[in-house]
Structure 1
Amino acid sequence: MSWIGLIDSPQELTQVPLRLDLPAFEGTLHLGLALKAGPAVGARDTLASLVLHDSMGPLGERSDWDQQLRASDVHRSANPTVGHYRYLWTVPGKSEVEISFKIPAGLYCSELSVRKYGEDRAPISIMAAAYRAQ
């Protein structure tokens, strides 16, 4: 499957999530980002958040799927505004990051967003974003 673009122009990240519009998906989602970050940026200053659902509705703060999600390197934050997440490795200057979210059978993702997280050390911008699903 080919890559599908998610933004039309560069977007500066803040603590407020930048929602990336994509259809709800099951299975595996590959996210590719071109980032530009200031010299003082920390490696874990950017994260991607997922809104996950099962047959009972949004997972939110429920922990019944945590073990299976951790096996896919998706974690549930104690901060409810973050929800389920993965850190995006962030380095100074321009970089490209590609990560895959493997959503266990029985779950689907309805929303994906990217934000700055932690201390506001340096500006971070998304220069390009794309996804492909399997």
Structure 2
Amino acid sequence: MVVDKLGDEVVDRLFQAFADTTRRDIVRRVTAGEYSVSGLAALYAMSFAAVQKHVAVLERASLVTKEKRGREQIVRANHDGLQKARRLLDEYEVMWRQRSERIADLLAETGPAAANPRPAGKIQTTEVEE
């Protein structure tokens, strides 16, 4: 399993990278073609330095690569890193689906009474003897 082969640190970097809207958008853009960091910065309502930091997070997660070309830093998708992330997410999806199915099986085994022990809208009360 990819999940087992990747260390926690690597998985954390991938999820951190994908956790931000701007970073996901940068990945989408550079997957279609290369961009300079300044070209990316022009697309967002944030500073050049902020875009540089987003690119650095993506680079640490191995989702993009950066290459110096003259005075510019060119950002490209790292297809190997993206494939690794895809495999990781695919494995999580399989695991979550299996768990969901197992929960459904357990609920089916115990019957409807266990799934809904009291009728909706009714409050159960107990009398206390004094």
The TM-score bracket by the shorter chain reads: under 0.3
TM norm structure 2: 0.22
Structure (1/2) with the larger helix percentage: 2
The structure showing larger relative contact order (alpha-carbon pairs under 8 Å, at least 6 residues apart) is 1
Structure (1/2) with the larger strand percentage: 1
Q: Which has the larger radius of gyration?
A: 2
